A and B are shown apart, each in its own frame.
Chain A
Amino acid sequence: MTKRLYSLLIRFWFAAKMAGHGILANPLRSALTILGVAIGVTSVVSLMGIGEGARQAVVEQFESFGTNVIAIKAQDASVEFKPEEAEELVERVEGLEMATPVVNTKAVMRWRRARGYVNVIGVNSQFPQIRDHDVIAGHFFTRWHVMQRSPVAVLGYNMAVGLMGGRSPVGQTISLNGETYRIVGVLAAKGSGKAEGIDDKVVIPYTTAQKIAEKRTVEEIWGKAASSKEADLVVVQLGRIYKRKLGLDQSAPTPVTTEVEGGPPEAMMKAGMVKTVMKPGGDRPKKPSIPGGEDLITITNLNQLVKEADKANRVMTLLLGGIAAVSLLVGGLGIMNIMLVAVTERTEEIGVRRALGAKQADLLIQFLLEALYVSGIGAVAGIVAGIWGLNVFERYGFETAVSFQAVKTAAVIAIGCGLLFGVYPAVSASSVPPVEALRRQ
């Protein structure tokens, strides 16, 4: 038994060696075939890597908004929220854990001798929990600060670094529109462009911000749901509440799903994905909402945004991969072509081997292995080239990601191609009758 196994092993090893000979016998031809496969694999790895990179970038972008965040936003000047509404909603809406009124405004900031416009955002003390911000120095302002309209500020990361270099600015003062604010904390960096550019903003109590903006109302409320499951329910409940409040029809609002387009997060939020849209007169929205159009409010579940964006990008990645796979298929056909040529060229060899006692299986394995070598070497070369190519892309500022899945897919497809397209030539090689093979020369 072991002897039999051993002899099989010897024959297999020899077939493997002969397959190697087959490749080396015609180095240029083999190299070209390998190149064909390698190009296919490279394109799969690099295109999918680019797609995956784009996808991850968008997902990160959206994830920086925080989890289970719901944004209620006025889309029309006629609609405004009272700041107290935030707390009311938390009480009325099941699953809504926290909420903050949001005031976005600009102010002239003075710091020592420098001055300039800065973006100011006014929120309540729950803001860091709602939007998943960490405070890396000092602390966030408190409920008390908000109630007292205290002139306190928490700086975005870039803003803080800009003021004091590496040192903590906590305890320093800045002035906004001529009023002096004490810096009480610094937020952790979210990354450039992430979380609506929070890194470059000054965060102050909304009560104080209302003074700067010179209004009593707020244009936005951000809430946090207890879980992603509840976030969906919260959107529905909010829809109902606001419909009633705005005097629209009594039926539940229809969530509208619209395409997401690339662009800065602000724009994406406005373009809206899954959200409830209110229209005057109670007519049900049919078309995607147009920012600045007739919609009064949008209620957006940011989780949903992330999911939709992710899905859209996943489709793109697959599409890119699919296109690349075609070139891999062409590489596979190259293998088949070369193997068929090799088989006809080597009928004499096949006949001799058969005369000397090679079984069909010996030849089948030999030719199959030859095809596998070509595809295997091509796959490895292609993966290396693909990863290298992605690095080059990255240097030119593309977001890329070497996705393990793409590498795996490409390798499996390449080797699968080798097998698939190697089988037919190998079978035809092994099934030539020995006499025939010896006669043909």
Chain B
Amino acid sequence: MALLELKGIARSYKTGQIKVDALKGIDISIEEGDFISIMGPSGSGKSTLLNIIGCLDKPTSGTYEIAGRRVEKMTDGQLADIRNRLIGFVFQSFHLLPDLDAQANVELPLIYRGISGRERRKRAIAALESVGLGDRLHHLPSQLSGGEQQRVAIARAIVGDPAVILADEPTGALDSRSGENIMSIFRDLNHNQGKTIVQVTHEKSVARYGHKIFHLLDGEIERIEVVNDSISQEVRVK
């Protein structure tokens, strides 16, 4: 049984009279320990797909199971629990809370899980240390560089020990060196800790950190590319 199982996922938006089909029947299964990159032109539905995987959004039709649990019929509260326990988000624009220092930001998911202060602190510090920010615990986001902020966001994503890390253009707002730094953290998380990672990216070099690249076009999976260390094989879907 795959960790993430999407069958016939479609998502359409209605804006006034116009109906936009952002996703048109996506079938994906992602195994535990996978590192998936999603690529595609702007507007092809990458973020929409990632949001559905992350239970931030619900599909218009289709079924989605995460760790064996059906998501579409869940209540808002249950979805919040899924997001809290099974998913770690990393966003392009970091989305750290500006009033809270690095450590407090990282503690957030644990707070919503109801974990007590001492335990929270311990785990937040460990997470920040694992991304190399052990000396930046009490910096506010505004006092950190973009790369550092994104590392805080990664620490926040992993602190709750989720089943999958979802990243929407995690290097999109960073220069190439910071980007590489971020990607090496991802590779390390995947390789050494067996974390499942799904990321959206525009850059081929970033995408190639993954094992597979899903190419999206107009809301459909056009092809799946399997990345080998030396050569990359391409599998035509249709």
A6-B114, A11-B111, A360-B77 are known contacts. Are A355 and B156 too (CB-CB below 8 A)? Answer: no
Which of B51-59, B128-136, B196-204 has 4 or more CB atoms under 8 Å from chain A? B51-59
B213 to chain A, nearest CB (A): 24
Determine chain A's interface SS by DSSP, over half rule.
helix
Interface membership of chain B positions 65-81, coded 1 if the CB is closer than 8 angstroms to chain A and 0 otherwise: 00000000000110011
B15 in the interface (beta carbon within 8 A) = no
Residues of B within 8 A of A263 (CB): none
A10 pairs with B77, CB closer than 8 A = no
User: Would you mind naming 25 contact pairs between A and B with Cβ atoms under 8 Å apart?
Assistant: A7-B113, A10-B116, A11-B114, A14-B111, A352-B97, A352-B108, A353-B97, A353-B112, A354-B56, A355-B56, A356-B89, A356-B109, A357-B80, A357-B83, A357-B109, A358-B80, A358-B112, A359-B76, A359-B77, A359-B112, A434-B83, A435-B57, A438-B56, A438-B91, A438-B95
Residues of A within 8 A of B54 (CB): 355
**Most chain A beta-carbon neighbours within 10 Å: one of B84, B89, B93, B111:** B111
Interface size range of chain B in the complex? 20 to 34
B85 in the interface (beta carbon within 8 A) = yes
A357 pairs with B93, CB closer than 8 A = no
B56 pairs with A435, CB closer than 8 A = yes
Q: From the candidates A8, A434, A438, name the one contacting B114 in the complex (CB within 8 A).
A: A8
A307 in the interface (beta carbon within 8 A) = no
- A354 to B93: give the CA distance in the assembly, Å: 16
A351 pairs with B76, CB closer than 8 A = no
Write the residues of chain A forming the contact surface with B, with a CB cutoff of 8 angstroms. 4, 6-8, 10-11, 14, 21, 25, 348-349, 351-362, 433-435, 438, 441
A355 pairs with B89, CB closer than 8 A = yes
Instruction: For A9, give the chain B residue with the smallest CB separation.
Output: B114
**Most chain B beta-carbon neighbours within 10 Å: one of A6, A352, A358, A361:** A352
Residues of B within 8 A of A354 (CB): 56, 80, 83
B115 in the interface (beta carbon within 8 A) = yes
A11 pairs with B91, CB closer than 8 A = no
Residues of A within 8 A of B115 (CB): 7, 10
Q: From the candidates B51, B77, B84, B93, name the one contacting A356 in the complex (CB within 8 A).
A: B84
A351-B95, A355-B83, A435-B56 are known contacts. Are A360 and B76 too (CB-CB below 8 A)? Answer: yes
Residues of B within 8 A of A434 (CB): 56-57, 83
- A433 to B89: give the CA distance in the assembly, Å: 16
- A198 to B85: give the CA distance in the assembly, Å: 83
